[in-house]
Structure 1
């Protein structure tokens, strides 16, 4: 149970709600944003003293029933409720380190998708594998050291555009939310903890977003790359979760016959010349 993170998460979720959001009268002017602690306690059917101790990081581990009541009182989404259980230590735990080895069948699948740019990312945003079209659209991650393959570092610590993507700010917010979930699942993994510390120290933008304690990421359905050779390429973005290794398979495709599909086809040729498929 991570008492301090649990308390901070509860506080930020409470402060974002207004009384009218939970059918309570707004009453007199409030000194602080959001609901009062006693209001959350009433809605969750627990004592105010216990809820206050939870936010202060002084309470013992809450039961599943208590967490369910708090999740309902704070109007948590499914992802936020899952995160609450992870922080409270009531969710199934994973091994101490996140996995970085990609399943061979997934590597083979990447090679069988010539018109799709595909890559596999770890729970900490390291690109673990990519096919030739993804290398041509972005860069050949296989030629980089593990540290330089990390998209979170690229997004927050390196100057210049992130592969010319149109949704760079949305992607950065997505990175922060996902890393917060990853840190909760792997609190003793030095690769995860050191990455978060490095980003918090090196990027004021990351530190600001981190303090929001957001964990609900909106799906990124399309993305536009501004490629130096073929120009703008707008793709559909689909992300598949590989649960057994806590990884993600990211696929970029374009509608058949579209200018972006033609651009990808050109990149397929350019990519196959530079990075031949074995």
Structure 2
């Protein structure tokens, strides 16, 4: 995959256009939610004849406990800052449901403190799908590369993941912190730059989120190689590709990866590793038949 830099000026213009589009969408969204609520819905007298359906802007501001001018500017799509507390008050006043609230925060480019963990958001129907894919290794990861569900074949190839502490159950963390003797990534020197470039592409959408900043900080501290690659600012789009892994019990295993969005858990994706040939299928089968051999990669240093 080709990694790209940014031509001077292009990213700034694209960012400004994206910001204007989000603010325009935010303005339209807030107006539509305001217009569907009547004064009676919020316990207010109907008052004289109204020229506008639903609540007035000043009424929303009053009920939310925010300034009329500030709310007017927000609904006009002006570039103003909004805190989670203020957006939460607006969301309650406009009676937004979970999806609408998430939409509001995303358009306002503010992390939602009430958003559930990825593990909590994963539907119960996903694990049976993963299990049904055996003997093809498969897992579900969030955008941050935290592994939040997996099947038996995945655990056989990557036994470090189930054995890890939750805060380290992350494929990028494993790639850059495991020593060579038990690191499953074959051709680390070739793969590592791409891993970091794809991660930075995803990171650009989560710049202010504590979890993202924390994993980058910890990786830069734990891995000089990650720090070097991170500071290069290369970016790349994810794509289906051939990935090869090394297991001490059976040798190298080559797979073709396929990423499928899990729409019920926004930002999450299912990664399916299809063995490339009969030898690769046989080696995965051997690991599944002998769990003790599959666990060889997990040991103390």
TM range (shorter): 0.5 to 0.7
Q: Please state how far the C-alpha of 1:133 moved relative to its aligned partner.
A: 0.9
Alpha-carbon separation, structure 1, partners of 2:19 and 2:293: 59
Q: Is 1:247 paired with 2:271?
A: no
Aligned to 2:137: 117
Aligned to 2:176: 156
TM-score (normalised: structure 2): 0.56
Alignment of 1:214-253 (within 5 A): 214-217=234-237, 219=239, 221-243=241-263, 244-253=265-274
Q: Is 1:62 paired with 2:16?
A: yes
Aligned to 2:215: 195
Alignment of 1:20-59 (within 5 A): none
Say which SS state the counterpart of residue 251 (structure 1) adopts: strand
Aligned to 2:6: 13
Say which SS state the counterpart of residue 143 (structure 2) adopts: coil
The structure-2 alpha-carbon separation of the partners of 1:187 and 1:99, relative to structure 1 and needing over 3 Å to count, comes to: farther
Say which SS state the counterpart of residue 290 (structure 2) adopts: helix
Kept after mapping to 2: 8 A contact 1:98/1:186: no
Aligned to 1:166: 186
- Specify which of 202, 206, 211 is matched with residue 182 of structure 1: 202
Alpha-carbon separation, structure 2, partners of 1:230 and 1:65: 51
Alpha-carbon separation, structure 1, partners of 2:110 and 2:282: 43
Q: Please state how far the C-alpha of 1:223 moved relative to its aligned partner.
A: 1.9
The structure-2 alpha-carbon separation of the partners of 1:219 and 1:167, relative to structure 1 and needing over 3 Å to count, comes to: farther
How many residue pairs get matched? Answer: 202
Q: Please state how far the C-alpha of 1:218 moved relative to its aligned partner.
A: 5.6
Q: Please state how far the C-alpha of 1:116 moved relative to its aligned partner.
A: 0.6
Structure 1 gaps of 5+ residues are: 1-9, 15-36, 45-50, 56-60, 68-88
Kept after mapping to 2: 8 A contact 1:98/1:123: no
- Specify which of 203, 207, 210 is matched with residue 230 of structure 2: 210
- Specify which of 286, 296, 300 is matched with residue 266 of structure 1: 286
Q: Please state how far the C-alpha of 1:228 moved relative to its aligned partner.
A: 1.4
Provide the alpha-carbon RMSD of the alignment: 3.6
The structure-2 alpha-carbon separation of the partners of 1:182 and 1:254, relative to structure 1 and needing over 3 Å to count, comes to: closer
Kept after mapping to 2: 8 A contact 1:117/1:131: yes
Kept after mapping to 2: 8 A contact 1:135/1:271: no
Kept after mapping to 1: 8 A contact 2:261/2:267: yes
Kept after mapping to 1: 8 A contact 2:184/2:246: yes
Aligned to 2:94: none
Q: Is 1:106 paired with 2:161?
A: no
Kept after mapping to 1: 8 A contact 2:288/2:294: no
Alpha-carbon separation, structure 1, partners of 2:258 and 2:110: 25
The structure-2 alpha-carbon separation of the partners of 1:194 and 1:65, relative to structure 1 and needing over 3 Å to count, comes to: closer
